[in-house]
Structure 1
Amino acid sequence: MDESIRPFRIDVPEADLDDLRQRLALTRWPERETVDDWSQGVPLSYLRDVCGYWARSYDWRATERRLNRLPQFRTGIDGLGVHFVHVRSPHPDALPLILTNGWPGSMVEYEKTIGPLADPTRYGGDAADAFHVVCPTLPGYGFSDKPTRPGWTVHRIADAWTRLMSRLGYRRYGAQGSDWGDSVTTSIGQRDPGHVAGIHLTPPIAAPDPATFDDLTDTERDSLAALEHSREWESGYSAEQATKPQTLGYALVDSPVGLCAWILEKYRSWTDCDGDLESVVSRDELLDTVMLYWLPATGASAARLYWESFRQVAEWFTSSTVDTVGVPTGCSIFPKELPRPSRRWAERRYTDVRYWRELDRGGHFAALEQPEAYVEEVRAFFRLVR
Structure 2
Amino acid sequence: MQTIEVLKQALSSLDPTQQQQLLVAGSAVAVGGLLTCYYWVYQGTKTKRIPTGDGWWGAGEKPRSEDEKVFPFQVQTSDEEIQDLYDRIDRTRYTEPLEDAGFQYGFNSTYLKKVVSHWRHQFNWKKQIAILNKYPQFKTNIEGLDVHFIHVRPPHREGQKVLPLMLVHGWPGSVYEFYRILPLLTDSLDSLAFEVICPSIPGYGFSEAPRKQGFNSLAAARVFHKLMERLGFSEYYLQGGDWGSLITTNMAQMKPECVKGLHLNMLTSKMKGLHRVLHEVLQGELQDQH
**TM-score, reference length from structure 2:** 0.69
In structure 2, how many angstroms separate the alpha carbons of the residues matched to 1:15 and 1:127?
A: 48
154, 165, 169: which one pairs with 1:101?
169
Bigger CA drift: 188-197 or 39-48?
39-48
Q: Is the contact made by 1:33 and 1:44 (CA closer than 8 Å) also made in structure 2? A: no
Corresponding residue for residue 84 of structure 1: 149
Matches of 1:33 and 1:170, distance apart in 2:
56
1:309 aligns with none
Q: What percent of counterpart residues are identical?
A: 37
Partner letter of residue 174 of structure 1? Y
What amino acid is the match of 1:65?
A: A
- Look up the match of 2:107: 42
Please state how far the C-alpha of 1:19 moved relative to its aligned partner.
Answer: 1.2
- The count of corresponding residues between Structure 1 and Structure 2 is 214
**What residue in structure 2 maps to residue 111 of structure 1?**
179
Superposed displacement of residue 169, structure 1:
1.2
Structure 1 residue runs without a partner (length 5+): 208-315, 326-346, 355-386
Matching of residue 181 in structure 1 with residue 244 in structure 2? yes
Question: Cα distance 1:193–1:16, how it changes in 2: closer, same or farther (>3 A)?
Answer: same
Q: Does 1:6 align with 2:74?
A: no
The one-letter code of the counterpart of 2:126 is R
Deviation at residue 353 of structure 1 after TM alignment: 5.4
Checking the alignment, whether the CA contact within 8 Å between 1:88 and 1:132 is kept in structure 2 is yes
How much has 1:349 moved relative to structure 2?
A: 5.3
Equivalent residue, structure 2, for 1:310: none
Aligned residue for 1:120, secondary structure, equals coil
In the alignment, does 2:172 pair up with 1:172? no
Q: Aligned partners of 2:263, 2:223: CA distance in 1, in Å? A: 19
Tell me which of 72, 80, 90 is aligned to 1:25.
90
SS of the residue aligned with 2:181? helix
Amino acid at match of 1:84: F
Partner of 1:203: 266
Contact 2:96–2:110 (CA under 8 A) maintained in structure 1: no
Give the secondary-structure state (helix, strand or coil) at the position aligned to 1:81: strand
User: By how many angstroms is 1:14 displaced?
Assistant: 2.2
**Corresponding position of 2:50:** none
Letter of the 1:191 counterpart:
M
Distance 1:69 1:131 in 2: 18
Indicate how the Cα distance of structure 1 residues 352 and 29 shifts in structure 2: closer, same or farther if over 3 A, else same. farther
Cα deviation digits, residues 123-142 of structure 1 (max 9, x gap): xxx242x1111000111111
Q: Which whole-Å CA distance do the structure 2 matches of 1:180 and 1:159 have between them?
A: 14
After superposition, the Cα gap between the structure-2 partners of 1:174 and 1:35, relative to the gap in structure 1 and judged at 3 Å, is: farther
Distance 2:118 2:69 in 1: 40
Q: Tell me the distance in 1 between the aligned counterparts of 2:164 and 2:281.
A: 20
Structure whose residues are more often helix by fraction: 1
Distance in 2 between residues matched to 1:184 and 1:76, nearest whole Å: 19
Letter aligned with residue 115 of structure 2: V
Q: Which of the pair has more CA radius of gyration?
A: 2
State the Cα deviation string for residues 43-73 of structure 1 (Å, max 9, x = none): 2222111110000110111111122121000
User: AA paired with 1:110?
Assistant: F
Question: Which one-letter code corresponds to 2:78 in the other structure?
Answer: P
Q: 108, 114, 119: which is aligned to 1:54?
A: 119
Instruction: Detail structure 1 runs of 4+ shifted over 4 Å in the superposition.
Output: 349-354
What corresponds to 2:130 in structure 1? 65
Q: 1:74 to 1:41 in 2, by over 3 A?
A: same
The CA distance in 1 between the partners of 2:280 and 2:230, in whole Å, is 28
SS in 2 for 1:28: coil
Shift, 1:115, TM fit: 1.2
1:351 is displaced (CA, Å) by 4.9
RCO higher in structure (CA 8 A, sep ≥6): 2
Aligned-residue CA RMSD (Å)? 1.8
